[in-house]
Amino acid sequence: MIPRPLEGLLVLDFSQFLSGPYAGLRLADLGARVIKIERLDGGDICRRLYISNMELDGDSTLFHSINRNKESYAVDLKSESDRQKVRKLLSHADIMIQNFRPGVIEKLGFGYEEVKEINPFLIYGSISGYGWDTPLRGRPGQDLLMQAFTGLSWLHRDDAIRRPIPFGLAIADMMTGAHLVQGILAALVRRSVQGAGALVEVNMLESTLDVMQEIWDEKWMPGRCSNEGAGESESSRWLKGLYPTATEYIALEEMSLYELVEALAAHFPSATINEVTADSIQQLLLTKPADYWCIQLRKAGIACEELLNWEQLLGQEAFLELNITQNIYRSNGTRLTALSCPIRLNSYRLQSSRGAPHIGEHNGEIEFEWLSHS
């Protein structure tokens, strides 16, 4: 076992659902000790968030996956005695994470200004949905709603029925959590140099827009000049996307129709090669299976991949050699196979077999360690 870069750091994670807990997960993977501050009555709402309708040992499998390698300290934040315990924990902490709606954490007495008085060296990570000073600050920051507000779902649409399709992943939540970790790590570096804590703020709206930089100029800059379609011939068209074959789909990276025709020239009569269109390419792809076309196109230097389902992916040698899965175990022996951290340090895969905690599972040891002394 190699030393992890965040070993010795204490994180108090007040967050729920996905964005904040995902940030806490990554900090735990990197070696920090992460304690979830949960409600006594039900804990993190993610425990009952059944995206896949799968439950294990009383909690959703999503909760297990996103909260592995953490401890749970259950309290009533409306109780002054419990708030006092949390304040004492904060005096020892290095990092705090929260994703309540703007104004809520302040009412509980744990806003940044209050916490800074307790611990001026603490890195305070805060997530909101639409920002703290915008007209929409009070709206719930939920992934699907953010996809709708930013128009992201239009990029993932079914042209056959001309309707948007939401992403099958909580992309806004995950990216926001990742951005928070980036800010926290930067603040830790700054603290090591200047000895000062910091407030790190991210919001789901900006994080979702950040993912869309690739198409910002094309889609969201009205009034910009565009020569799209001007003088464009059939042979200069650019192709990119998923295309059906006789079996599955294949994915083609962006290329001109001319390049694709040249790569598949052997499959067309020489007399008609200059008359090949995008439609005739599609008809040709339907004549043979996906693996055949991938072999032919790669030989011609065309980047492509078969569209795999989950069963096919898990059987791929490339996936197996990644060694990205791990078994995690709760204290009662409940086991779940989960994904590992994608970051490697000195070629070492960051893994931990510790499963997600039960509500308040670590209250006793946390209070003995941190609260039993004056």
Active site residues: 173
Closest CA to 260 of 247, 272, 273: 273
Distance of alpha carbon 339 from alpha carbon 323, whole angstroms: 9
Distance of alpha carbon 263 from alpha carbon 294, whole angstroms = 11
Cα distance between residue 28 and residue 354, in whole Å? 11
Name the percent of the chain in helix, strand, coil, to the closest 5: 40, 20, 40
Q: Do you know the residue count of the chain?
A: 374
- Three-point CA angle 5, 322, 60, nearest 5°: 75
Q: What's the CA gap between 277 and 268, in Å, rounded?
A: 11
**How many angstroms separate the CA atoms of 229 and 282, rounded?**
21
- Phi and psi at residue 242, to the nearest 5°: -100, 135
Measure the CA–CA gap between 93 and 9, rounded to whole angstroms: 7
Q: H helices within the chain, ranges in order?
A: 19-29, 61-66, 80-92, 104-107, 112-118, 143-150, 171-194, 204-211, 216-220, 257-263, 278-285, 290-299, 310-314, 317-322, 363-366
